Amino acid sequence: MKLPRRRFLHLLAGTAVVPTAAVLGQGTITSTGAIRVLERTHYYAKPGLAAEVLDVRRKASAVRVSIGLPAGEIFVKYPGGDGSEPDVAWQCTFADVAAREADLAARAASAEFESVRVQMRQLYARFERQVLAVASL
């Protein structure tokens, strides 16, 4: 089942009110507190544009820093992969749902960040965003 992004975010935000639980040993459940959130984006470059996608992703991370957000981490396709991997990936972990929502608001309010988004859209053939709750071990 594929959820639209906004619906998924609402569901994720709703779980923030319910204490999370971690399983320890044989069925023992204990509360772990707030939900950490991971956002990951995948960029599949148009043919011959992988280097440009990486350059623009670096620029986006620099803009993030300039507006007071963490840069996140950038990953590139590993030569030994099976070819299904994105050319460039980015990820950032947030302390909780509220921290990610504040990050989204800061990005939306930044004309410079939007300019980078417009530039990036010209370079990729496919884009994916994943938002995940970080599970405790």
Token digits of residue 15: 């779980």
Here the contacts of 21-29 (C-beta below 8 Å, separation 24 or greater) are: 22/135, 22/136, 22/137
CB 29 within 8 A of CB 23: yes
What is the C-alpha separation between 18 and 97, in angstroms, rounded? 12
Q: Would you say residue 67 has pLDDT above 70?
A: yes
DSSP symbols for 14-56: HHTTSPEEEEETTTEEEEEESPPEEEEEEEEEPTT-HHHHHHH
Over the stretch 97-130, which tens digit does the pLDDT of each residue have? Answer: 999 999 999 999 999 999 999 999 999 999 999 9
CB 92 within 8 A of CB 32: no
What is the value of pTM for the model shown? 0.74
Over the stretch 15-54, which tens digit does the pLDDT of each residue have? Answer: 443 333 333 344 443 444 579 999 999 999 999 999 999 9
